[in-house]
Structure 1
Amino acid sequence: MSGAAGALRSLRTDLPGEAPKQQGQPPLWRAALFGLCPECGASGLFEGPARFRPRCRACGLDYGRYNVGDGPAAFLTLIIGALLIAAALSLDFAFEPPLWVHILLWVPLTAAAVLYGLRVGKAALLASEHQRQAAEGRRAEDGDD
C-alpha cells in the first residue's frame, strides 16, 4: 500500500507472527489453557468456575471491556456432548457395563469437560480480542464522545 492508506496501517492488523509482541504477553494457547491475563501473563483470569474477574490483580487490565459473553457455551457443549456420547456407546458395546457404571463415569466427566471447555473457550476469546484490540463498532457520526 502507498499513500495515506498505507501510512494509517497499524501493526496490530498484520498477521500475529509478523507483529512484535510485547514482553510478558503469553501466546493465545497458553492464556486460554491456563487462564492467564492476556496482557501480563499473571494467573487468576477467572473469579468463579467460568466467570471472569473484574480486572487483573497484577496489571489492572479491565476484563469488563471485552465482550466474550456465553458464545462458546452452546458450541462447546454440543461438541463435548457428541464426543462423550460416542465414547459412552463405544464402552457400552465393548464391555456392556451396568447402568450405574455409566452414571458414575459419564456424569462427572461430562460436567468437568463442559466446565473446562467453557473456561478455555472464554479465555481464548478474551485473549484474542485483547491481542487484536477488538472494540464495539461505532458509526462515524457518533463522534468520539
Structure 2
Amino acid sequence: MKLSVKKTSELSVEEFLEIAKARVKVFVVEQNCPYQEIDDQDDDALHMILRVDGQLAAYTRIIEHEDHIHMSFGRVLVVEEFRKHHLGRQIVSATIDEIKQDFPGRDIKIAGQNYLRSFYESFGFKAVSDVYLEDEIPHIDLELKVME
C-alpha cells in the first residue's frame, strides 16, 4: 500500500484522468447523480491517493473551505473492488492527519452524505447543520475542532 499527496499541478495527465474516471464512476454513475463532478476546486486542491499494488484504491480531495477559515475534504471514495477492506477509514484518517500537518490550527468542516454521519463522528466530527439535499442526496455539515 502506498499513500501519496499531490497538488493538482503535480499530477501527471494520466494520474488526473485516473482520478477523474474513478470519481465520475462512483459519484455520477454508481450514485446515479448527474452533476459537475470535475469543478473549479480541482484547480488548487491537494489529492490524497492510496494505491494497492500500483492501482488506485482510495482517494480524497483536500480544499480550503468556502469560508476561507476552515479546511475541508471531500470526494471520499474507495474503488469498488477494494471496498470491505477498511480503506475508507485509512484514507480519511490520513486526510485528517495531512490537514493537521499542512494547515495547523485550522478546524475541518465537511459536507458528508448523511448515511455516513456515524462514520465521520467516529473521527470526532460533530454535526453542525440539519440534513439537507445536495444533488438529491441527503447531506449534513460536520465539523472537527482540531484545537480543543
TM-score by length of 1: 0.23
1 or 2, which has the higher helix percentage? 1
Larger Rg: 1
Name the structure with the higher strand share.
2
